[in-house]
Amino acid sequence: MEIGALLYTTWTEFERNKLNEAIELVNNPKAHPCFFEAVALYLSNALDVDYVLIGRLNKNKEQTIRTLTMVIEKLVVPNVEYALENTPCEQVFGNEICCFPFQLQNRFPEDRMLVDLGIESYIGAPLNNLNEEPVGLLALMHRKSIVKTPFLDALITIMTLPIEQELHRLSANSQEFTNCQ
């Protein structure tokens, strides 16, 4: 979904309020010392999903993701590193927004984390650098089905560009990605 299209879509009052809150949050990432955590917590609460993560591809270990922040049941938890192979996250790269609305464990039976955490549905979006090369992802996971709607697309679209910009800013300044816990 193009950002401009957001202006021409009919939203419910709830959706309009959530989109406005999201725009306000990402309008000035420097205002939030823990920007990635603020975004993940916002998405967790606004969408009432069980898991949200923002991760980047690990340059030292091919095909692995290192989370920059991870929220489980509305709480920030320590970062993790995991292999992309045979996970829904692997499917995100090369796509826009990738959605598996139900039966996620059946589609990815080799992903033990899905089983261990009881994850049933997934929506992810790639995070790209200025050359449109993938550098990470934003993922939302839930123990129940997630229905992909224009509102959900819009909210994720609003969030991804500022996350990408913040990743670029930190990389350009050779700043370390730190968790604010």
Beta bridge partners of 72: 51, 75
Q: Quick check: 27 pLDDT over 90?
A: no
> What is the model's pLDDT at position 155?
94
> What is the model's pLDDT at position 139?
97
> Rounded mean pLDDT of 113-121?
93
Task: Say yes or no: domain 3-170 is CATH 3.30.450.40.
Answer: yes
Q: Quick check: 9 pLDDT over 70?
A: no
Q: Quick check: 55 pLDDT over 60?
A: yes
Q: Which residues contact 6 (CB under 8 A, 6 or more apart)?
A: 19, 154, 157, 158
pTM of the model: 0.89
> What is the model's pLDDT at position 108?
95
pLDDT, the chain, mean? 88
> What is the model's pLDDT at position 126?
96
